[in-house]
Structure 1
Amino acid sequence: MSTDARPVLSLQDVHLSLNGNTGPVSILEEISLDVRRGETLALVGPSGSGKSSLLMVMGGLEQATGGAVHAMGEDLTRLDEDALARFRRAHMGVVFQSFHLIPTMTALENVATPLELAGARDAFDRAREELDAVGLGHRCDHMPAQLSGGEQQRVALARAVVTRPEILLADEPTGNLDQANGAQVMDLLFDLRDRHGSTLVMVTHAPDLAERCDRTVHLRDGRILPDSQREAAE
């Protein structure tokens, strides 16, 4: 898919510290990164390198403690929680390793929820279309507990893209799935990204998934590795 030069996400000198038992713990340091509109970007690195935290900062799900985070031209570091929630609802879709479906709602109701919160009158029609797109049109009335892990993640994908977000964030979306289901979910993720024209940023440990992306950013100890260090790190 074609990209253009305008960054849809831009981070400048971002730092993130969290309070631990013995005081502040540095999670991210000196992160500067632009993600182009329409780009597919993989965030890779060993466990504890900060890649999931970086994704959360990009989505305003974790507030940076220093620097600036711009998404769609909006400085997320200046928004309060309510404003961040509205921004995500309007512009972002997020897929987690754990499916985070609402257990008391059907698959259709789970997918329709973001649209209902946005006041869309056609919420259930659009939700049904997205479930059809991930091959679950016949499971609309099933509760999450009645679905397999692969099916639950496909429902989560449909929910993430039902608002047609400009930015799609995925944190190890196949981490809880077996190889066959993981491959199917990743194919669907890329297909949905192409169909909606979203910018995709994905955290992954899988080299084959990273290779499918336009660009890969390597992290270690909360920092982006410069090109000269990547071969040694791998």
Structure 2
Amino acid sequence: MTTVLSLKDARLSLDGNAGRIEILRGITLDVQKGETLGLVGPSGSGKSSLLMLMGGLEAATGGQIQALGQNLSDMNEDALAHFRRDHMGVVFQSFHLIPTMTALENVATPLELAGHKDAFDRAMTELVNVGLEDRANHFPSQLSGGEQQRVALARAVAPRPDILLADEPTGNLDQTNGSHIMDLLFELRDRHGATLVLVTHSNELAARCDRVVRLRDGQIDTTLAEAVA
């Protein structure tokens, strides 16, 4: 199998009012091509921080992080931005849509930045895939929370990323919308063949993953090593 994400003794420390805080304490983990990996654990265990390291959105303070064979620690901000644009899609708990742009424009923007001449055609295709073709010309303020998250999903998968990262994608939604987003997330992953890593508190969502890794106090909970291997 092909390893698309590889972390070796990855560490993250931040300076706070009370001194140095160890957020991640030596994470070693490989994620294979096409795998769906769920990151679970109590609040404050480091799940979202680990996802941010995987996406180059946070710089590790120790260890090594490789994505698609590239060492993220060797890249500057511009190089990281270009790498994410070309290879990664990210979905946050907060939708992060541009309020002055329509749903179609929100989805098309990363495609335009990547130089795709058919950006709007591809964006509309993804809106159709998430069932929002009738809402393409609506602004985020005119959409429900579930609809906004569907736009965010469409935007993340439109560039056909190799790696899809999702941080609590159902966290701000009610149960009905959350279930719909879960279905869409796996459907889009299957359609585009991306490797999916997601952070979740949802046992239902975690159960749909190929593998689950539980974090506790910034480390992989080794007491569950056999269960998640």
TM-score range, shorter chain: over 0.9
Which among 179, 186, 190 is matched to residue 190 of structure 1?
186
> Contact conserved, 2:40 with 2:199, CA < 8 A, in 1?
yes
Which whole-Å CA distance do the structure 1 matches of 2:226 and 2:195 have between them? Answer: 24
SS of aligned partner of 2:78:
helix
Which whole-Å CA distance do the structure 2 matches of 1:77 and 1:131 have between them? Answer: 34
- Which AA in structure 2 matches 1:114? P
Query: Which consecutive residues of structure 2, in runs of 5 or more, have no partner in the other structure?
Result: none
SS of aligned partner of 2:37:
strand
SS of aligned partner of 2:197:
strand
> Contact conserved, 1:93 with 1:160, CA < 8 A, in 2?
yes
Structure 1 residues 98 and 228, CA, compared in 2 at 3 Å: closer, same or farther?
closer
Structure 1 residues 228 and 198, CA, compared in 2 at 3 Å: closer, same or farther?
closer
1:71 CA displacement: 0.2
What CA RMSD, in Å, does the superposition of the two structures yield over aligned residues? Answer: 1.1
Which among 163, 174, 185 is matched to residue 170 of structure 2?
174
SS of aligned partner of 2:60:
coil
Structure 1 residues 173 and 23, CA, compared in 2 at 3 Å: closer, same or farther?
same
SS of aligned partner of 1:174:
coil
State percent identity of aligned pairs.
Answer: 70
State the partner residue of 2:69.
73
Which among 35, 40, 53 is matched to residue 39 of structure 1?
35
1:165 aligns with 2:161: yes
Which whole-Å CA distance do the structure 1 matches of 2:19 and 2:101 have between them? Answer: 40
Which among 123, 126, 150 is matched to residue 154 of structure 1?
150
- Number of aligned positions between the proteins: 227
Trace 1:1-234 onto structure 2 (pairs within 5 A): 5-228=1-224
Following superposition, which runs of at least 4 residues in structure 1 exceed 6 angstroms of deviation? none
SS of aligned partner of 2:86:
helix
> Contact conserved, 1:116 with 1:123, CA < 8 A, in 2?
yes
> Contact conserved, 1:6 with 1:37, CA < 8 A, in 2?
yes
1:227 CA displacement: 3.9
1:13 CA displacement: 0.5
> Contact conserved, 1:218 with 1:230, CA < 8 A, in 2?
no
SS of aligned partner of 1:57:
helix
Structure 1 residues 163 and 46, CA, compared in 2 at 3 Å: closer, same or farther?
same
1:6 CA displacement: 1.4
Which whole-Å CA distance do the structure 2 matches of 1:129 and 1:200 have between them? Answer: 21
Which whole-Å CA distance do the structure 1 matches of 2:110 and 2:26 have between them? Answer: 34
